[in-house]
């Protein structure tokens, strides 16, 4: 595994995780000194004053152009063999040579920044960056599989400004899902009227605002079931359900098991 030392975050660096995965970090054009054969590229543009944070998924035919591009901002790029991605459930990929571009959500950006800015040197730094690279890859494909990434303008009829406001609406739901969020409150929070929020949210995320809110609350509930000792009824109430029966029904539709069975299975694993 190639090593980089603290302070090199802005200079090009290559970390060989395995024969199936290489991590590139740096500004400007990037060169992979060692990479899988015909890899897909997953690029995380971390953003600048003039450019929003950006996620690009590029098929093998477009990787050379992706690496040669000078974005003027720091990037983290994962080069991953297709056979490795094929083992990830729900794999979706662009056509040969094509690139899918999305707004980089805050959770993925945080992982990419932690990978880039790791202050550890030597073997500890290698292990940390490897772990973060793998986490970043899997979390990205989870978001692709769940269709929760917002496409950049050009992939939708929405304007760039409205895309950014809808991204803010999604972030508000993700971060404040435990609160009583009404459609009007979300619209005010992102600077859109109700009609544009409703229509644009459906176009961008392929679900309604209410469906996104319910999904986020159930995801949070699933985490609480495993990480806390709170009764199932209390977790349901904190997730916005007025009684245990409605919480159990919604949870069962989302995860295929009751909240109690979910907790028991995860704790036994």
CATH fourth-level superfamily of 211-268: Homeodomain-like (1.10.10.60)
Give the pLDDT of residue 12.
64
Furthest CA-CA distance within the chain: 58
List of long-range contacts for 238-243, beta carbons under 8 Å, 24+ apart: 238/178, 239/178, 240/178, 240/180
- pLDDT digits (tens), the chain, 269 positions: 333 333 344 456 888 899 999 999 988 788 777 888 888 899 998 876 556 788 999 888 888 888 888 777 788 999 998 888 777 654 455 544 466 888 888 789 889 999 988 878 888 888 999 999 999 999 998 888 777 777 776 555 677 778 878 888 988 888 888 888 899 999 999 999 999 999 988 887 778 999 989 988 998 999 899 999 999 999 999 888 888 999 999 999 999 999 999 999 888 86
- Quick one: tokens of 240? 């916005």
The distance from CA 70 to its chain's CA centroid, rounded to whole angstroms, is 23
Give the pLDDT of residue 157.
65
CA-based nearest residue to 76, from 38, 122, 117:
117
Distance CA(15)–CA(32), nearest Å, equals: 9
What is the torsional sign of CA 185, 189, 195, 201? negative
């Amino acid at each position: 595994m190639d090593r980089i030392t603290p302070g090199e975050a802005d200079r090009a660096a290559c970390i060989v995780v395995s024969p199936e995965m290489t991590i590139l970090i740096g500004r400007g054009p990037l060169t992979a000194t060692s990479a899988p054969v015909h890899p897909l590229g997953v690029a995380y543009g971390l953003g600048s004053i003039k450019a929003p944070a950006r996620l690009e998924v590029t098929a093998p035919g477009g990787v050379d152009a992706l690496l040669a591009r000078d974005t003027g901002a720091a990037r983290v790029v994962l080069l991953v063999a297709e056979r490795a991605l094929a083992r990830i459930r729900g794999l979706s990929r662009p056509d040969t040579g094509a690139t899918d571009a999305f707004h980089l959500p805050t959770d993925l950006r945080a992982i990419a920044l932690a990978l880039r800015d790791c202050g550890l040197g030597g073997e500890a730094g290698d292990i940390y960056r490897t772990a973060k690279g793998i986490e970043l890859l899997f979390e990205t494909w989870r978001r692709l599989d769940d269709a929760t990434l917002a496409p950049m303008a050009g992939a939708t009829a929405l304007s760039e400004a409205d895309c950014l406001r809808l991204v803010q609406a999604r972030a508000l739901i993700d971060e404040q899902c435990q609160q009583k969020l009404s459609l009007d409150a979300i619209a005010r929070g992102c600077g859109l009227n109700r009609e544009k929020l409703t229509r644009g949210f459906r176009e961008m995320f392929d679900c309604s605002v209410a469906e996104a809110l319910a999904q986020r609350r159930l995801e949070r509930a699933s985490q609480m079931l495993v990480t806390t000792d709170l009764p199932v009824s209390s977790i349901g109430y904190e997730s916005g359900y007025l009684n245990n029966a409605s919480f159990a029904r919604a949870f069962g539709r989302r995860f295929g098991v009751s909240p109690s069975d979910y907790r028991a299975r995860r704790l036994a694993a």
